[in-house]
Amino acid sequence: MHPDTAIFDMDGLLIDSEPLWYEAAKEVLQGLGQTMDEKAYASTVGLRTSEFIEHWFRLYGIDMGLAGAAEKDITDRVIGMVRERGTLMPGVNGIIDLLKSHGFKIGLATSSPLELVDAVLERTGLTGRFAALHSAEHLPYGKPHPQVYLDCARSLGSQPTRCVCFEDSFNGMIAAKAARMKCVVVPHPDTLERPVWHAADLTLASLGDFSPSHLSAL
């Protein structure tokens, strides 16, 4: 069954925001007396901020009573940085144009809050490019649970088996495959050769590398 719908993740795929999330998380954790390196941060990419906080607070033995304030602090810092210096990833507009020229419905499904989605779309000029926007912020479970992808497909009037998702994280890839959707991953360059990406239908170094031949192969 040929796909007719494309659903995009946001952070690290459409906008180069993972360094901003790392910067914000590192600063907030430092304020609580803890340190985090990039390798440790990368292990939780794709989780919601609340789940990220819960994981690291439990690991570091930080009082969970401080979790809500830390989550808001991280999110507010990232929104501010996106508005000031968020950068669109290469190939984003090109791939959306290509998919739309082939009649695809286009959606966005993210673990990030809708307040950040609005900031990203405004900063990058992507406002109006997606027919459906969904956040896992208030869902019972975030990625790697598939619900945010299933909800986005439902809003678009699409069958999950006719959707192709574009992701950059392991947790996002698992969510897409659990939803019974095809998945194209564009990992961080440092992780491109990792065997975990073999679970995806296609692995690319950049969205700009996606071509009509890739579309036909899917």
Instruction: Give the active site residue among 11, 73, 151, 168.
Output: 11
Residue 21: name the closest of 88, 92, 112 by CA. Answer: 112
Distance CA 174, CA 170 (A): 6
Q: Provide CB contacts within 8 A for 114, sequence distance 6+.
A: 133, 135, 137
Q: 7 has which bridge partners?
A: 107, 165
**97 an active-site residue?**
no
Distance CA 103, CA 166 (A): 17
SS3 for 203? strand
HEC profile for 164-178?
EEEECCHHHHHHHHH
**37 an active-site residue?**
no
Instruction: Give the active site residue among 4, 9, 73, 168.
Output: 9
Calculate Rg over the CA atoms of the chain: 17
Could you give the residue numbers annotated as active site? 9, 11
